[in-house]
Amino acid sequence: MTDYYAVLGLSRNATDAEIKKAYRKLAREHHPDVAGPEGEERFKEVGAAYEVLSNPEKKAMYDRGVDPRSSAGSQGGAQGFGFEDIFESFFGGGSPFGGQQRGPASRTQRGGDQLVVTEVTLEEAVFGVTREVVVDLADVCSTCSGSCCAPGTQPTTCTTCRGAGHVQRVARSLLGNVMTSSPCPDCGGYGTIIASPCPDCAGRGRTHSRHTIKVDIPAGVETGTRIRLSHMGDAGVGGGPKGDLYVEIRERAHKTFERRGDDLHCTLEVPMTAAALGTVLNVETFDGEQEVDVTRGTHAGHTVRLKGLGVGRLQRAGRGDLYVHLDVQTPTELTDEQQELLERLAALRGEEMPQARLAPIGGGVFSRLKDAFKGRS
In the chain, residues under CATH classification 2.60.260.20 are: 77-251, 258-374
Measured N-to-C along each axis, helices 40-53 and 56-63 cross at an angle, to the nearest 10 degrees, of 90
pLDDT at site 98: 39
Binding residues: 141, 144, 158, 161, 184, 187, 198, 201
Enter the pTM of the model: 0.62
- Residue 113: CB partners within 8 Å, gap ≥ 6? 41, 42, 45, 233, 234, 243, 244, 245, 246
Helix (H, G, I), strand (E, B) or coil at 61: helix
Q: Residue 72: its pLDDT value, please?
A: 36
The predicted structure's pLDDT at residue 73: 34
Angle at 62 between CA 59 and CA 66, to 5 degrees: 150
Residue 314 DSSP symbol: S
Q: What is the homologous superfamily of the domain 1-69 according to CATH?
A: DnaJ domain (1.10.287.110)
What's the pLDDT score for residue 29? Answer: 84
Task: Look at residue 47 in the predicted model and tell me its pLDDT.
Answer: 87
- Cα–Cα distance measured from residue 228 to residue 14, given in angstroms and rounded to the nearest whole number: 30
> pLDDT value at position 361?
57
Bridge partners for 215 per DSSP: 131
Binding-site residue numbers for Zn(2+) are: 141, 144, 158, 161, 184, 187, 198, 201
Fold of the domain spanning 258-374: HSP40/DNAj peptide-binding domain (2.60.260)
pLDDT digits (tens, 9 = 90+) for 202-218: 888 899 999 999 999 99
- Sign of torsion, CA 36 40 42 47? positive
- For 105, counting Cβ atoms within 10 Å of its Cβ (0-12 exposed, 13-18 middle, 19+ buried), the class is buried
First to last CA, the chain: 61
CATH 1.10.287.110 residue spans of the chain: 1-69
Q: Which residues of the chain have pLDDT under 70?
A: 1, 33, 70-102, 173-176, 354-357, 359, 361-377
Q: Does domain 77-251 have CATH number 2.60.260.20?
A: yes
